[in-house]
Amino acid sequence: METASMSDWFRLMKPGVLALLQVTAMCTILIHDLIVWNVEGRVGFNFMNTLETMGIVFVGGYLTAGGAHTFNNVLDRDIDPKMKRTEKRAIARGVISPKAGLAWALFLSISGTIWLIHFANEVAAFWAAFSILFYVFIYTLWLKRSSVQNIVIGGIAGATPPLVGWAAAMGDAVSISNPFDLGSFLPWLMFSLIFLWTPPHFWALALYRSDQYKEVGIPMMPWVHGPHRTMIEMRVYALLLIGIAAMPWLNPAEVGELAAYTYTLIVLVLGIWYNQSVISIDIHEPLDEDGRIPSASHSFFVSLNYLALMFISLVCVLFSPELTILFLVLVMFKILSKRKPKRRISVAASASD
């Protein structure tokens, strides 16, 4: 009988998903501290304090989100072996028992929450615990198997890392008596970005895996309402996402007009880039050797980069809008230099042919 490896235990946490969640949380902490730095005249930035907060949230976020994902592996043990994308998970293969998986999930979730309470604050721990409970009880146990809106509403759980990061960065300035009061609308805008990003991101994947979901009875949009309806809703969410992202997030009086307007321009360009990948999905396109719709697979991976770049760009413009603009100009020159000019055919050459 096959025995579980350390990799099997680690993969129960879904580390690939965790990586993107942690990018948004880490960037949120930097964004908070850089805004404070700008407001205070751009002097005395305490990098070590910011780095410490990032380390605390990284560990706590990794443990709590990993615990939620492990619960998901335990609860989906009946359907995971029947789907190609999940059949190699450790519990699905039988190398880790459901009881052992449950114990691992509880350990990760509880230790991560206690870690955040002790080293960050109760509000950061509240939003991390909220994410676990919502993902396990609302999404996995209820919506996933009963509603075509499973991914839409379930996206709330994956949108909480900015709330955790922002609360941790605020320290004692937040109170558990009102965990919704984070002192700014900015973390809630970040939350809304991830929430609106989730449906078109995941449905791009579901478009060519709808048969697998249908076989196990998971009501995903592509097979319940069809790919055409799915594409319409993906485009609506993508447009809403661009609209929210292009809002004037930053206060020019706090961070300067150049930083505020530069970021708006960057996210607008990024939004057009992502939206184009959604519009370009061809549901009638022949599948590749891996059974994927190439254009849908492309949009899925573009969405990963798009989300990360939105957060990273905000960090960059808050640190130095001038350097950000210079970097973008250099990137543009690099892209243009790679474009090969079309060969001109002279009239004389054409005649000689």
Whole-number mean pLDDT of the chain? 90
Q: Between 331 and 197, name the one with better pLDDT.
A: 197
pLDDT at 349: 39
Q: Which tokens belong to 238?
A: 């993508």
Answer whether 0.85 is exceeded by the pTM. Answer: yes
Q: Let me know if 269 is exposed, middle or buried by CB neighbors in 10 A (0-12, 13-18, 19+).
A: middle
Q: Rounded CA gap, 228 and 328, in Å?
A: 36
What H or E segment, with its residue span, contains residue 10? helix 6-11
Q: Which of 184, 206, 234 is the last residue of a domain?
A: 184
> Could you tell me if 318 and 34 are in contact, meaning their C-beta atoms sit under 8 angstroms apart?
yes
Is the predicted pLDDT of residue 336 greater than 50, yes or no?
A: yes
Q: Nearest 5 degrees, angle CA 149-CA 15-CA 280?
A: 50
Q: Do 21 and 75 belong to one domain? A: yes
Backbone angles phi and psi of 217, in degrees to 5: 80, 20
Structural domain for 307, as ranges: 188-328
Q: Does 319 map to a domain?
A: yes
pLDDT at 338: 62
Q: Radius of gyration (Cα) for the chain, nearest Å? A: 23
Q: Do 140 and 270 belong to one domain? A: no
CA distances from 125 to 153, 183, 283 (A): 22, 17, 42
pLDDT at 247: 82
> Could you tell me if 182 and 167 are in contact, meaning their C-beta atoms sit under 8 angstroms apart?
yes
* CATH of residue 119: 1.10.357.140
> Could you tell me if 152 and 199 are in contact, meaning their C-beta atoms sit under 8 angstroms apart?
yes
Q: Do 23 and 172 belong to one domain? A: yes
Q: Rounded CA gap, 111 and 183, in Å?
A: 27
Q: Nearest 5 degrees, angle CA 237-CA 269-CA 337?
A: 140
Is the predicted pLDDT of residue 318 greater than 70, yes or no?
A: yes
Q: Does 163 map to a domain?
A: yes
Output the furthest CA–CA distance in the chain (Å, rounded).
Answer: 85
pLDDT in tens, 201-258: 999 999 998 888 999 999 999 999 999 999 999 999 999 999 898 887 888 888 889 9
Q: Which tokens belong to 277?
A: 């990948």
Q: Does 66 map to a domain?
A: yes
Q: Do 165 and 201 belong to one domain? A: no
**343 CB contacts (<8 Å, ≥6 apart)?**
none
Q: Do 250 and 229 belong to one domain? A: yes
